[in-house]
Amino acid sequence: MLPGNKKLLILYILDILKDFSDENHLLSQNDIMKKLYSIYGVECDRKSIGANIDSLIDFGYGIVKTRKGSFLAEREFEPSEVQFLVDAVFSSRCISSKHSIDLAKKLSSTLSNYQRKQYNYVYKSNELNRTSSKELFYNIDIINEAIEKDKQIQFNYKKTTFKNVNLKDKTYVVNPYYLINNQGKYFLVCNYDYFNEIGNYKVERIYNIKILDSPRKPINKLKEFENGFDIVKYANENIYMFSTKSIDALLKLSSDKSSIPVEEWFGKNATFFEKDSNLYAKINANETSLIYWCIQYGEDVELLEPKETREKIKNIVNIIKQKYE
């Protein structure tokens, strides 16, 4: 073995264990010797391999040694954790096909070669209906930098992503506060500079973004947020990320099964109770989001209160009815 390679031998062995070993694929010292030569052009004896594996174990790597061979048992992520994250990347429509493949590669690189093969379906991500935007991660970096520096940002916003539809995109100057991932889409929670309320913009539709020298408006200067901003509360109430007020509402559920979508969408924001053999739910949610949610689940739920919101739903339903008559 070349003298210069002796210092790297322990790293070569670690890489081989990462790539070619798991609980179902053990590597003997002879296996490791062959891979050292075929991959790195390095020759060494079994004693050196054994000593280096022991050093890796002493350092804290979760390597298991048996009579049949060794394997790396502990990794940065468990296979089930990688599967969850890769599936989330694959199903997210706010990132491009190339980005989804690149992210999946990075996540699955923590596993062995044999375990990675089950994620080949990610290469079909371009078959999904997803954004073609290449600026998402750049936008996220710029927005986070602006938030950290307490500065305003300026950007253009795509009203449509269809190339054959010509709509003039507007330039916005906003005060950025938070980024929220909602239903696989990234939203910028901010304040449009000429108003005194919170607004939301899809990050994938933002382009020509830049940080301005002007300081951003403090969030406690905005209407309804004088006492601060609870990002968790805001995300729970704004299930569709509309920028209207939140209301207390009463729902009547048609059956026990109707509680499932209520619980899935509103979680702890929902309180269930029974009265006169009927099931009800009290919730707090963004009014516009709630209106469209009630229409979506119209067969299962009926909004009873507030009356004015109920009237808005009736008006929308009547408009829909007229279109289909």
- Binning pLDDT at 50, 70 and 90, where does residue 127 land? very low
129-182 pLDDT per residue, tens: 445 556 778 888 899 999 999 999 999 988 765 555 555 778 899 999 998 877
134 DSSP β-pair partners: none
**Over the stretch 212-243, which tens digit does the pLDDT of each residue have?**
999 999 998 887 788 888 887 777 777 667 76
Give the tens place of pLDDT for each residue, 87-104. 777 666 667 777 777 887
Distance separating alpha carbons of residues 13 and 93, to the nearest angstrom: 39
Residues 103 and 122: their CA atoms lie apart, in Å, by 10
Would you place residue 1 in the very low, low, confident or very high pLDDT band (cuts 50, 70, 90)? very low
Take residue 121 and report the two structure tokens written for it: 């379906």
Residue 84 has pLDDT above 50, yes or no: yes
What's the CA gap between 110 and 269, in Å, rounded? 37
Question: Which has the higher per-residue pLDDT, 1 or 284?
Answer: 284
What integer pLDDT is reported at residue 301 of this predicted model? 92
Distances from the Cα of 60 to the Cα of 57, 69, 71, angstroms: 5, 19, 14
pLDDT of 69 reads 93
Q: What is the pLDDT of residues 108-118, one digit of tens each?
A: 888 888 777 66
What pLDDT is attached to residue 257?
82
Half-sphere exposure of 18 (CA within 13 A, CB side): 14
Q: Label residue 289 by pLDDT band (50, 70, 90).
A: confident
Identify the pLDDT of residue 160: 63
Q: How far apart are CA 224 and CA 106, in angstroms?
A: 42
Q: Band of the pLDDT at 82, cuts 50, 70, 90?
A: confident
Q: What is the pLDDT of residue 131?
A: 54
Domains of the chain: 3-72 (1.10.10.10), 79-127 (no CATH), 136-229 (2.30.30), 246-324 (3.30.70)
In sequence order, the 6+-apart residues with CB closer than 8 A to the CB of 3 are none
Instruction: Give the separation between CA 230 and CA 264, rounded to whole angstroms.
Output: 21
pLDDT at 73 > cutoff 60: yes
Q: Which has more pLDDT, 209 or 243?
A: 209
| Predicted pLDDT at 2 | 45
Q: How far apart are CA 105 and CA 217, in angstroms?
A: 40
The residues, any chain, with a CB within 8 Å of residue 294's CB and separated by 6 or more, are 251, 301, 302, 303, 313
Cα 65 from Cα 72, distance rounded (Å): 9
Please give the Cα distance from 136 to 126 (Å, whole number): 16
CB of 11 within 8 A of CB of 52? Answer: no
Per-residue pLDDT tens digits for 29-60 = 999 999 999 998 888 888 999 999 999 999 99
- The percent of residues above 90 in pLDDT, for the chain, comes to 38
For residue 154, what pLDDT is reported? Answer: 95
Instruction: Please name every residue paired with 210 in a beta bridge, in sequence order, or none if there are none.
Output: 154
Q: What mean pLDDT, rounded, does the chain reach?
A: 83
